[in-house]
Amino acid sequence: MRQRKAIADAIGPIWEANHVWLILVIVLLFTGFPAGFAGMMTALNIPLTAMLIGIVLRGSAFIFRKYDSRSDGAQRRWSTVFGIASFFTPFFQGLILGALTTGKIRIVKGQVMSGFFAGWLTPFALACGVFALGLFAFLAATYLTLDTQDQPDLQNDFRRRALWSGLTLAPIAGVVFLASKQGAPEMYDGLTHWWAPLLLAWTSLTSIVTLVALWRRWFALARMAAISQVTLILVGWCLAQYPNLVTPDLTVSNAHAPEITLRLLVLALGAGAIVLLPSLAFLFYLFKGKESR
């Protein structure tokens, strides 16, 4: 259970700050694309609720574990709750993302016509869930190899986990791609555009760099490569899904808020970034800078 302690130590100082992003994303979707928000929240109510329970349990288990005065059986139970919730939350996140692109969710005049089980129970959505889970595990393990510099055995353990999860990502990504042909045709079309092979080659290159760096124990390089790998996957996903929000009925152009709202939103984002980004940088400098020194 020293792994769990390492996780808690690594993420403890910035745990609350992380939830800023969750709120930001939801508010942005709600304000900028109200029709998309309404459609997603209605059609995917069940998996979203499951994910929310996961987020609540993760957060409380983390805090309870951290501030409990004794480290005994109770703390181990919190760790278990944290682990289980951390397993299901990214899985449902991937599931929801996948469901949006299946084309099974139909929205006519703002009304969800396809019921509450459409999309997210398809093999494609399930494959996306597994892929998201693998990706999160891989990213976390790669990050933790740098946070455990002073504990070689833990570092080795996280290195092994990062290598294994990184290796399994490739076949899972293949399954997602193959499942998209049947399960999410528009996504498949997007993934077979002219830019797709270039992006795929670039992503594969970063993933190979990550794995080699992990193997050769260049952990700082591994972290940077893993960051770019995950960013590239996100970029590819966005490009393939664009311009759909909920395939096929809601797109960026028919679900957005009135122009004046969008303009104010961009201004607010810019102003917010001026405050938020330096504060975050300072937070990381304070808690992460010291650790590595």
Partner 1 sequence: MLALAAWSGWCWWKRGPLTGHPRLLCALVAAGPLGFVAIEAGWIVTEVGRQPWIIYGVMRTENAVTPMPEIVAPFVIFTALYIFLAFIVFFLLRRQFIETAGPVSETSATSTHA
| Shortest distance in whole angstroms from residue 49 CB to partner 1 | 5
The stretch among 19-27, 50-58, 94-102, 247-255 that binds partner 1 (CB under 8 A) is: 50-58
Token code pair at residue 199: 């992006």
According to CB under 8 A, which residues from 217 to 276 bind partner 1?
Answer: none
The stretch among 109-117, 143-151, 154-162, 281-289 that binds partner 1 (CB under 8 A) is: 109-117
* Cβ count within 10 A of residue 17: 15
Among 45, 80, 261, 292, which residue sits at the site for partner 1 (rule: CB under 8 A)? Answer: 45
Confirm or reject binding of residue 49 to partner 1 (CB under 8 A).
yes
Confirm or reject binding of residue 60 to partner 1 (CB under 8 A).
yes
In order, the DSSP letters of 52-120 are HHHHHHHHHHHHHHHH-S--SHHHHHHHHHHHHHHHHHHHHHHHHHHHHTSS---EETTEE-S-SSTTT
| Shortest distance in whole angstroms from residue 50 CB to partner 1 | 10
| Shortest distance in whole angstroms from residue 266 CB to partner 1 | 23
Whole-angstrom distance, CA of residue 44 vs CA of residue 240 = 21
Among 68, 268, 285, 289, which residue sits at the site for partner 1 (rule: CB under 8 A)? Answer: 68
Confirm or reject binding of residue 30 to partner 1 (CB under 8 A).
no
* Nearest CA among 187, 41, 183 for reference residue 116: 41
> Closer CB to partner 1, residue 21 or residue 67?
67
Confirm or reject binding of residue 80 to partner 1 (CB under 8 A).
no
Helix, strand, coil share (%) of the chain residues, nearest 5 = 80, 5, 15
Q: Report how many helices (DSSP H) and strands (DSSP E) the chain contains, helices first.
A: 12, 4
Burial of 39 (0-12, 13-18, 19+ CB in 10 A): buried
* Nearest CA among 79, 74, 87, 72 for reference residue 1: 79
Confirm or reject binding of residue 149 to partner 1 (CB under 8 A).
no
Confirm or reject binding of residue 70 to partner 1 (CB under 8 A).
yes
Token code pair at residue 267: 């201004």
Among 31, 42, 168, 228, which residue sits at the site for partner 1 (rule: CB under 8 A)? Answer: 42
Confirm or reject binding of residue 109 to partner 1 (CB under 8 A).
no
Among 111, 182, 261, 279, which residue sits at the site for partner 1 (rule: CB under 8 A)? Answer: 111
Total residues interacting with partner 1, rule: CB under 8 A: 16
Confirm or reject binding of residue 116 to partner 1 (CB under 8 A).
yes
Q: Quick check: 260 and 117 in contact, CB under 8 A?
A: no
Burial of 183 (0-12, 13-18, 19+ CB in 10 A): buried
Q: Which residues bind partner 1 (CB under 8 A)?
A: 41-42, 45, 49, 53, 56-57, 60, 64, 67-70, 111-112, 116
